[in-house]
């Protein structure tokens, strides 16, 4: 199991917005482009890139979802105290 992973995410305020993000990704839009356009996290400016992080660095729900992804895979909607995330594992 990986100790550290590299992920990007898109953070929005509502579940409806997050579902719309997933729909756009399923239609082939690039993750980074959608992140720059709609993410409310400062990482959005970097295409959602959070860099590499280890366990214990993110809130539990986010960490659990992120570490469960395979490289290149996008998560379903993940709810945390910050809002609704769509996470992509980059490596």
| Greater pLDDT, 72 or 3 | 72
Domains and CATH numbers, the chain: 4-89 (3.10.50.40)
C-alpha 6/C-alpha 88 separation (Å) is: 9
In this predicted model, what pLDDT tens digit does every residue of 49-81 receive, in sequence order?
999 999 999 999 999 999 999 999 999 999 999
9 pLDDT higher than 90:
yes
Of 64, 68, 38, 63, the C-alpha closest to 50 is 63
Rounded to an integer, the average pLDDT of 18-36 is 98
Q: Does the pLDDT at position 1 exceed 80?
A: no
Given this model, what pLDDT does residue 91 score?
86
CA dihedral sign of residues 31, 36, 39, 45: positive
Task: Give me the mean pLDDT over the 24-40 stretch.
Answer: 98
Q: What is the mean pLDDT of residues 25-30?
A: 98
- The structure tokens 């895979």 sit at 73
Q: Tokens 């993940």 belong to which residue?
A: 78
For residue 74, count CB atoms less than 10 angstroms from its CB and return exposed for 0-12, middle for 13-18, buried for 19 or more: middle
Q: Rounded distance, CA 86 to CA 24, Å? A: 12
């Amino acid at each position: 199991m990986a100790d550290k992973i590299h992920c990007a995410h898109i953070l929005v305020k509502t579940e409806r917005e997050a579902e719309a993000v997933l729909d756009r990704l399923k239609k082939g839009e690039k993750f980074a482009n959608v992140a720059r356009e709609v993410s409310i996290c400062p990482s959005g400016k970097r295409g959602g890139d959070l860099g590499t992080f280890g366990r214990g660095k993110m809130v539990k729900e986010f960490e659990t979802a992120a570490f469960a992804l395979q490289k290149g895979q996008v998560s379903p909607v993940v709810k945390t105290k910050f809002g609704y995330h769509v996470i992509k594992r980059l490596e």
